[in-house]
Copies of this chain bind each other. A is one copy, B any other.
Amino acid sequence: MSNELKVTFQPSGRTVYVLPGTLLLEAAGRAGIVLQTPCGGRGTCGKCRVRIAQGDCGPAEGEGHGRSRALAKQGFRLACQAHVTSPLVVGIPAESLFEATEQILTDDSGNAAALHPVVRKVFFELSPPSAEDPRSDAIRLMHAVGDVEIPYNILQKLPGFLRANSWQGTAVIVSDRLAAVEVGNTSQDSYGIAIDLGTTTIVATLFDLVRGTSRAIASSMNPQVGFGDDVIARISRIRENHGALAELQQSVLKALNGLIQSLTEEARVPARQIYEVVVAGNSTMQQTLCGLDPSALGEVPFVQVLERPLSLPAAQLGLAVNPGADLFVFPQVGGFVGGDTVAGILAARMDQASEPMLLVDIGTNGEIVLAHNGGMEATSTAAGPAFEGARIVQGMRATAGAIEKVIIADDVVVNVIGNAKPMGLCGTALIDAVAELLRCGVIDETGRIVPPDEAPEALPFRLRRRLTPVDGETHFLLVAAEGSASGEPIYLWQKDVRELQLATGAIRAGINILLRRAGLEPAQLGRVLLAGAFGNFIRRSNARRIGLLPQIPCGRIHFIGNAASLGAKLALLAAEERERATGFTEKVTHVDLSLDPEFQMEFGMSMIFPSGDVDSCAEGDAGADRRGEEHP
């Protein structure tokens, strides 16, 4: 584990430690930086180009001719082709970022499109009233800034404000409502926050709404985890305890205020210049944030309070932002398919898909959306927390000390987050371990870890000795006692494989049912988009090996990062985007898996691991995938 290499990304300064040979694209992803890869990482589009500022990183094959050669001489590399072979400092050009701003500010042809937040600030200089022009204060203002709704508390301040400030000032307009009037010309100081409100994690990004640039990003645990790991536990809590809804709401509001404080301190922006907060979260998260009782989500038929988007007075709800600011909460599809899925569809532009397209957002809940024939179907499935390291005997979240990657050839190689001794394994490592052990025959199709005497004859000795029979089951030693942080050995337990089978089966069953309803074969899918903080770090071939994803070429599988967060950003930065979201949401069909007569059968079948042949990818890029992701 001592051979990890430090990679620092600029301008953010984020640092990760990766095994030698890791693709730069993957290293960036682990640092939370999602690069553009419209070509699917084949090295053909040139969109993921980064600059090596320090360290040695030779150009990959194919980077040595034409424009690429010239750029390579200046230190530019394609992140999808270049491998980390030494400690690096890597500069990320803004245009390589797969960012909301990028998507908005340029269209598919790369042309500039409009930044158009619902927050507008207009500096006004009014002529004072005169005998010839006795218009009222409000009408005088509206003739300068446009026709707006003026809430009465602002109207009350207006006459005094105008006269105290020589009839000048800045109007803050949020969705055609006058949210504030400010002294002087503050029209260049306008901020908003996009929030991905996850069951476990909250990610908030502060945006400059005038320039369309991200100014700070902050994340924290969702303190609601104290009330239960998953949404079902939290809903149960609310159903049992009258005051729990208010407690859950207050706890998440407190967390949001903490994030707002972090963001404003980091960016040195006053909180009163934040005029809109956009939130995308699952149904339960959105409803508890708004104080909307999610009890009906706790029983069949899983009813929401409202599917439409909400605009709430942010300050009244308790958020420490401008008193006139709005809280925009994403529209929802139905049941557990909430605003995060809608935001994901928006970010992935699935509503504009020209070929069958699948979105899989992997978290404690898995959300699956299939676009085809101009329509969309969406479902939600309880994957459970295994992907997040919970319910795994020696599992942990993907933080420092977590094994996040497992490679098995002659022996076991693991990569640990934070260049530390391993403490346990996180979700990606679980997938890696099971996929690798399936490949070498140590785990069979039913998920059983075979005892040493049933292991394939060709199994290398160093692997065979790791098989540890206990009480009629077999566990697999990942890290020996002397290599671990605690001094205790770290195993992949038989029980862990069962948990993974449950999680995988739930998602795969959802995918299969959506495909069947649409009459599609997996091979007809033009693209499969993997989203979610977790989805971002899964190795595609391993995900496919364990049957989490259908048998399609790895080149058609794309990581789109935190799609919910990206969708929230889009909605914050462009009114048209949220109108689009509101428009297409009504047309998304919600599929309730619990009502599908085939779900139980499908679920059971999906828990069986695929037979080994799916590993042989049909397309050329699969090699790159294997090479980049699995071979150090």
Contact = CB atoms under 8 A, between A and B. Distances in A.
A138 B310 CA distance: 12
Nearest to A299: B129
A177 B251 CA distance: 30
A326 to B, nearest CB: 12
A301 B130 contact: yes
Interface stretch (A62-70, A110-118, A154-162, A451-459): A154-162
A586 to B, nearest CB: 10
A307 B156 contact: no
Given A131-B301, A306-B150, A595-B131, A290 B156 contact: yes
Contact of A136 (B137, B295, B305): B305
Interface in A133-178: 133-139, 150, 152, 155-156, 158-160, 163
A335 interface: yes
Given A303-B134, A334-B136, A152 B296 contact: no
A443 to B, nearest CB: 38
B135 A303 contact: yes
A1 interface: no
Interface residues of A, number: 41
A140 to B, nearest CB: 8
Given A300-B131, A310-B152, A305 B335 contact: no
Contacts of A310: 152, 155
A332 B291 CA distance: 39
A156 B303 CA distance: 14
A292 B159 contact: yes
A80 to B, nearest CB: 43
Contacts of A332: 136
B150 A301 contact: no
A129 B308 contact: no
Given A159-B292, A159-B295, A138 B301 contact: no
B137 A296 contact: yes
Nearest to A306: B138
A159 B293 contact: yes
Contact of A134 (B150, B160, B592): B592
| Most chain B CB atoms below 10 A, which of A137, A152, A295, A334 | A152
Contacts of A303: 129, 134-137
A293 B335 contact: no
Contacts of A494: none
Contact of A308 (B138, B300, B301, B592): B138
B334 A293 contact: no
A614 B291 CA distance: 73
Nearest to A293: B159
Given A137-B296, A296-B129, A305 B595 contact: no
A155 B306 contact: yes
A45 interface: no
Interface string A268-301: 0000000000000000000000111101100011
Contacts of A131: 300-301, 592, 595
A605 interface: no
Contacts of A296: 129, 137, 159, 163
Contacts of A150: 306
A312 interface: yes
A619 to B, nearest CB: 40
Nearest to A307: B136
| Most chain B CB atoms below 10 A, which of A303, A310, A335 | A303
Contacts of A159: 292-293, 295-296, 305
A428 interface: no
Contacts of A291: 152, 156
A178 B301 CA distance: 26
Interface in A40-89: none
A132 to B, nearest CB: 8
A304 interface: yes
Interface of A: 129-131, 133-139, 150, 152, 155-156, 158-160, 163, 290-293, 295-296, 300-308, 310, 312, 332, 334-335, 590, 592, 595
24 contacts: A129-B296, A131-B592, A133-B301, A134-B301, A134-B303, A134-B335, A134-B590, A135-B303, A136-B303, A136-B307, A136-B332, A137-B303, A137-B304, A137-B305, A137-B306, A138-B306, A138-B307, A152-B291, A155-B290, A155-B292, A155-B306, A156-B293, A159-B293, A159-B305
Given A133-B301, A135-B303, A155-B292, 19 more contacts: A129-B303, A131-B300, A134-B301, A134-B590, A134-B592, A136-B305, A136-B306, A137-B303, A137-B306, A138-B306, A138-B308, A139-B306, A152-B292, A152-B312, A155-B306, A156-B290, A159-B295, A159-B296, A163-B296
A-B interface, 6 closest residue pairs, ranked by CB to CB distance from nearest: A138-B306, A134-B301, A136-B304, A159-B293, A129-B303, A131-B301
